[in-house]
Chain A
């Protein structure tokens, strides 16, 4: 018996439909980046270049925050790239599914490899592991069509609105609040909680270190505490 599969075309549109709920996350986040970027003094071309070329919201916000603190370029880059390192895990996890694609397609997949396209694809491929590679690619790009054009346009809308929003709305607080919203749901295991606590304490105590290096030191310490706690918990549970 041969299994029957839907066409890549119908799989593409299923991906698109299943990606639509992310509109609720992507549109406000993109708009906010446009607004905050413009308020920080970037022009529309610069704001759009961030969202189109980098296409990774959290790192874009972190770059803005560090530039506003006048951190050196190398520190801005190191810290913001660290925020994106999780995507190396996404890349690794997709190798079994996308490893055999043509280079050109892999380049496009990589460009569009964001939290939402990854999370939905890996769920889909886990549920339907044996579908043809063309369907898997179609599903991935269906999700992408639902979110990425919206990411660009919402950034643009935010950038146009940007300068017209008065100070009374305290938009300086938008960046911290967004990061809190991204991190808080993770704070459910002991290693994650300890990591966050060391990160906060370290960054505050080391705020005097020049070139914003204190944050990088704090992050390294926090990461080691998290990994060490996880290891100890595993050993404890195993014994």
Chain B
């Protein structure tokens, strides 16, 4: 399904301006203002709160298989999570994840 170009440009523009304002927030706009502790405490977890939920459906119900769970993708996920936690390595997680995916796909097709 092709994406609507108008929508793409809205997203690019909005994301560019919004991201810039986030980066400029304290340096340029708010100065040395203190933020409440509870706010900073929540801010600390935004990434871990958004990204796993974003990818969970992509892993369990991938569009490439028509939305049915796929053993290769699940095993690849588990191995990438394991190596990421264990070795603290971004590149390692990507490499092992894709290797697992290709090997299991090769063995099961």
Residues of A within 8 A of B (CB): 24-25, 28, 40-42, 46, 49-50, 53-56, 58-60, 62-63, 65-68, 70, 73, 76-77, 79-92, 94-96, 98-99, 103, 106-107, 109-111, 113, 167, 170, 172-188, 191-192, 195-200, 202-204, 207, 215, 218-220, 222-224, 226-227, 230-231
Contacts and interface: CB of A to CB of B under 8 A. Distances in A.
Contact of B85 (A88, A95, A110, A184): A184
B107 interface: no
29 contacts: A41-B2, A54-B15, A59-B15, A59-B19, A67-B7, A73-B14, A79-B54, A81-B22, A88-B23, A91-B23, A92-B25, A92-B35, A106-B24, A111-B23, A170-B72, A172-B64, A173-B101, A176-B59, A177-B98, A184-B93, A187-B84, A196-B49, A199-B56, A203-B56, A215-B53, A222-B45, A223-B49, A230-B41, A230-B44
B18 A173 contact: no
Contacts, number: 277
B26 to A, nearest CB: 4
B93 A180 contact: yes
Given A77-B14, A176-B59, A65 B45 contact: no
Contacts of B101: 170, 173, 177
Contacts of B28: 103, 106-107, 110
A232 to B, nearest CB: 12
Contacts of A110: 20, 23-24, 27-28
Contacts of B47: 58, 83, 86, 182-183, 186
Majority SS of interface residues in chain A? helix
A62 B85 contact: no
Interface of B: 1-3, 5, 7-16, 18-20, 22-28, 30-32, 35, 38, 40-60, 62-64, 72-73, 76-77, 80-85, 88-94, 97-98, 101-102, 105
A118 to B, nearest CB: 9
B61 to A, nearest CB: 8
A191 B3 CA distance: 37
A85 B50 CA distance: 11
Given A46-B12, A179-B54, 17 more contacts: A28-B91, A46-B5, A46-B8, A62-B51, A65-B54, A79-B50, A83-B47, A83-B51, A88-B23, A92-B30, A106-B24, A113-B23, A170-B101, A181-B90, A200-B52, A200-B56, A227-B45
B81 to A, nearest CB: 5
